[in-house]
Chains A and B, each alone.
Chain A
């Protein structure tokens, strides 16, 4: 369980968590000539396509639409990448599960941190874009790290669930791909929440990712501080998903070495 004791144990293993995350990160870019520039290219190309389509053809009128879109894509990509990589966190490393022992959530945590590192690179691009478009964030940007931590906890919680389930049910990965695809369009990433009529918005905003992405844009691009109720909702969702993830993971963990 996610007790104080366990967190302390994880702290003792911090070297291992970071080392695994870092070596995974390096491996992802090592064999390609352009290195991590490829990873920056991907969201940028997507940005160009979506920007052309949505601002010109669909006529979406949003202030700083490029940045609005880029931030949304980066944040959603983080969730997509973190969870998709973590699904393989356990079954992709059989020798680390079957030949040595350390708390196995370390494998999932380190994978999420690898995704975090990749996302951090994308934020460098985002900052450059902000400079180019001359958008200065206000004091409200101080909410950004808190919201970002919430997102990380959501990703970690989902990853714990998915990685554990995928050991026993190998089609979880395919089902999850589908969920992520649907989520991309069901979350206000390409469009502002205001395109929905007033009375159905709350349904869309039940999705904690919708809350987090909207609040992060507001505080970074438009200088609007988050509504405390929404902030609390996101926090509770993050915590609930994390605890649920750990509960499922702990339940399934004892037989990992046999089931892989």
Chain B
């Protein structure tokens, strides 16, 4: 057992008025202190075997980072116990203890020691670190004169010299460009192969899927589930155990224009489980459902939908383009756009929906980029759209 967390609770007490001086405390003796108590972790238990790589996922504020800090012994539990076997190295932030006024080489010494390297290891590996970070020319430059990218590279190259038994990683991958992230991955893979136990907190579900054997899902400080990564991520994205969905009104934005003879009452995205959702996994079934309310009898109105990724117009279609005649419409109802397999790869997509007359001359209603949904990438592919292809190799004899 590398890490064992049992019935862990953590509460923070935030006083209504902060008393940071002795004077304020003496004056404050007269009136009782008022606290706001936040329970960040509620009865969390799980075990990690040696050599396992475990992801920890959940929305912001679900207690992921607090959990990691308690395991690292930086914060202490309010109740419950945490047992860790072996040497822990936390990667909660890169470059802890960096001194801007010292040189690159001196900082490797300071940071390396903070990360638990011995003096001998530092002397032996300093050159390797400098080369790996690509800072040979700057080894005697003061750290403050380096770009922030260089500093991150230096910190990372130093940090990965440690050989921990348990590695705690908190969103380190979020900094840095693609190439850097790729490098991070290789290093974590290497650690994993060496049998290092890894706890990995991330919002990047693709990374978690790629790296972790098991995943812990937290919501509002509670353990929702712990187990096989793919199952947990599905659960997280499709909120499977949620019975009551919150019906948040789409937005209070300007609701578009048009003469409102037919109004769009809302647009909903339906997932493979038949539930309304705004998180999808690339390649899964997807339905965009346009709810309408017709105030008059209207003949063959055209429903249209457009997908945007940032400023990119990704795709647009209408019922008419697809040869679907809507016929005579009166009252309310909905129109679905069915996709068997969502061809978007990852990112946040915004959606415009509109209703117009069959000759496009009259706009009935138009909701401009009022809706959005997220697509999560289950693969290692890059980009925003998914192309379903296979590679084939032909060797000339």
Contact = CB atoms under 8 A, between A and B. Distances in A.
A149 interface: no
Interface stretch (B91-99, B259-267, B373-381): B91-99
Interface stretch (A18-26, A67-75, A201-209): A18-26
Interface stretch (A37-45, A95-103, A213-221): A95-103
Contacts of B255: none
B203 interface: no
B102 A99 contact: no
Nearest to B98: A95
Interface size class of A (residues with CB under 8 A): 20 to 34
A15 B111 CA distance: 12
A15 B114 CA distance: 9
A254 to B, nearest CB: 4
Given A19-B113, A96-B114, A257-B69, A169 B21 contact: yes
A94 to B, nearest CB: 10
Contacts of A96: 96-97, 114
B96 A15 contact: no
B74 interface: yes
Given A15-B118, A23-B110, A30-B101, A170 B96 contact: no
Contacts of B93: 95, 99
B101 A27 contact: yes
B106 A100 contact: no
Contacts of B321: none
Interface string A233-260: 0000000000000000000001101100
B110 A19 contact: yes
Contact of B96 (A27, A31, A95, A168): A95
Contacts of A16: 113-114
Contacts of B341: none
A101 B114 contact: no
B109 A26 contact: no
Contacts of B101: 27, 30-31
Contact of A101 (B25, B74, B97, B113): B74
B75 A258 contact: yes
Main secondary structure of the interface of A (DSSP, over half): helix
Contacts of B73: 101
B97 A95 contact: yes
A23 B102 contact: yes
Given A19-B113, A170-B21, A175-B22, A99 B119 contact: no
Q: Pick the most buried of B74, B76, B88, B92: most chain A CB atoms within 10 A of its CB.
A: B74
B136 to A, nearest CB: 22
A172 B106 contact: no
A16 B90 CA distance: 16
Given A15-B119, A23-B109, A169 B20 contact: yes
B96 A100 contact: yes
A100 B115 contact: yes
Contact of A100 (B21, B22, B75, B114): B114
Given A16-B113, A95-B97, A172 B118 contact: no
Contacts of A100: 72, 74, 90, 92, 96-97, 114-115
Given A27-B99, A31-B101, A101-B72, A19 B12 contact: no
A171 interface: yes
Interface in A30-64: 30-31
Q: Pick the most buried of A15, A20, A171, A175: most chain B CB atoms within 10 A of its CB.
A: A15
Interface string A168-188: 111110010000000000000
Given A15-B119, A20-B110, A30-B101, A101 B23 contact: no
Given A101-B73, A170-B20, A257-B74, A15 B90 contact: no
A255 B14 CA distance: 13
A15 B113 contact: yes
A99 B106 contact: no
Interface in B62-95: 69, 72-76, 88, 90, 92-93
Contacts of B110: 19-20, 23
A257 B93 CA distance: 15
A102 B25 CA distance: 30
Given A15-B113, A100-B74, 5 more contacts: A19-B109, A27-B102, A101-B72, A169-B22, A170-B20
Interface of B: 12, 20-23, 25, 69, 72-76, 88, 90, 92-93, 96-97, 99, 101-102, 106, 109-110, 113-115, 118-119
16 contacts: A15-B118, A19-B119, A20-B110, A26-B102, A27-B99, A31-B101, A93-B97, A96-B97, A96-B114, A98-B69, A99-B74, A99-B92, A100-B72, A168-B20, A170-B20, A257-B69
